[in-house]
Amino acid sequence: MQTKKGQSIEDDSMQMIEDEVGIHGYNEKEWPIVRRIIHSTADFDFADKNKIIFHKDAIQRGMNALKNGCSIVVDVNGVIGGLNKQNLKDFKNKIVCNISNPEIMELAEKEEKTRSQVSMRISKSDIDGGIVAIGNAPTALQEVIQMVKEGIIKPALIIGIPVGFICAAESKEQLSKLEDAPFITNLGRKGGSSSASAIINAIFKLIREELAS
């Protein structure tokens, strides 16, 4: 829960974003998500309509899944740090992050994969029907895409917004062309754990507004 002072600062920040961006091309559900990403990164490049890509079913599927207590699988602990814990408590969502699992390194070496790839593969039961949020590891996103193509998982939503230079832009390009699962992604190298958690927090806020209406 926010203090009154904290909420005041957040409200003022959101208004500054509104004032600086002005007219944009996002719809009424997309914009609160994009605005939250800008708030978490102070990067106004995300306001460009061509930067954030929403699958047509992404937001509604994400809202339905979170509201029903789905698991949230993340690639790194940094995503967890940015999540609003009250939301997780109220909607009973389990957070799964296997990157530090002692078995991961051994399996990764044996299979000649990254730890991020293996951590996604062993989390498949939680990803199936759940939400996977990737903000750091492009190879994790590529593994999730591959599992979808193999028919192993059907996630409610893939949030793929890894930051970086090697395969980051390429992995998001692949996700933007995926037909078998709803996704939210962006073009280019930018992204990060704070952006991934911001998207989830924004979807939770949409849920609360819907329930209050």
Candidates 56, 85, 122; CA nearest to 200 is 85
For this structure, is 39 an active site residue? yes
**CA 158/CA 110 separation, integer angstroms:** 27
Phi, psi angle pair for 72, to nearest 5°: -120, 115
Q: Are strands 131-134 and 157-160 parallel, antiparallel or unpaired?
A: parallel
Q: Which of 33, 37, 38, 39 is catalytic?
A: 39
CA distance 48 to 21: 9
Buried b (16+ CB within 10 A) or exposed e, 44-59: eebbeeebbbbbeebb
Cα 103 to Cα 111: distance, rounded to the nearest angstrom:
12
Q: Annotated active-site positions, please? A: 39
